[in-house]
Amino acid sequence: MAQFSISSLSPPPPPSSSWSSSPLQLQRRVFFRSFTAKASSPSLACSRSDPKVVVTRERGKNGKLINALAKHGINCLELPLIEHTHLPDLDRLPSVLSNNAFDWIIITSPEAGLVFLDAWKAAGTPKVKVGVVGTGTATIFEEVAQSPKCSIDVAFAPSKAIGKVLAAELPKHGSGKCTVLYPASAKASNEIEEGLANRGFEVTRLNTYTTVPVHHVDQLILKQALFAPVVTVASPSAIRAWVNLISESEHWDNSVACIGETTALAAKSLGLRNVYHPTNPGLEGWLDSILEALSVHDQFQKVQ
């Protein structure tokens, strides 16, 4: 697994699989239902100048992935599928941080990390110890952690970057009460707080934000996206939004490159095929999954 540079992390149990950029270690899932899109004009057919990869995070949050793909000569099309909206619990978060001391703050996505940092600053930057789900989430804290007076200690990441493993491995010191603050998306499952509660943790969950589909999608951009070999998605909400967009089409069977296993499982439940994801979420593994999907697509095109 990639090493964290922002602080010393509590050593988790030995990982079940090692981080590797080798495509052989990427997990590919193939499913059976397909969706379809027909070309409305010959000009929409793929050509050398057409984008190979569709990036679907909110506008302004796709830069790192676009730049990483550009180094491989891969052109991208930006098609944001979801947007984030704040919920009332976010207004409570600064006072909760100011008036309470927690043994752990659990952050399970980059967006949750950004929302938390704003509230933490509003609370006066109290000293906190943070557990993150993986390297991608940990990078959100890199800039603030470089400050010599930083009071955020990113002290734990699980051996596998998924919620149920985090809940199983989060250190619990002694037999006394161990408190956890879990600021999260309203759409996040309950597996983390349930898993921690079963181990004796006292968990306070605040639903600070949620995700909703974008209100408007440019139909010309969507038509171009339907012909790109690979669509990238970083959350179950994004893959649901994509399926809703293509549900009117008769057939769509290109590849989906997911940031991690949780999103890939959501793709499976929606019946998509040719789904790729890395063993551990993060930009490096995500990039490897995209490159593998493109390689398979190119090989298929050569034999046609």
| pLDDT tens, residue by residue, 136-177 | 889 889 888 777 778 999 999 999 888 999 999 999 987 788
At which residue do the structure tokens 């600021």 appear? 183
Q: What is the pLDDT of residues 187-232, one digit of tens each?
A: 999 999 999 999 999 999 999 999 999 989 999 999 999 999 999 9
Residue type, 113: G
| Confidence at residue 248, expressed as pLDDT on a 0 to 100 scale | 60
Structural domains of the chain, with CATH: 53-81+214-303 (3.40.50.10090), 85-210 (3.40.50.10090)
Determine the residue type at 101.
A
Angle in degrees, 0-180, between the axes of helices 261-269 and 236-246, rounded to the nearest 10? 30
**For strand 27-29 and strand 275-277, is the pairing parallel, antiparallel, or unpaired?**
antiparallel
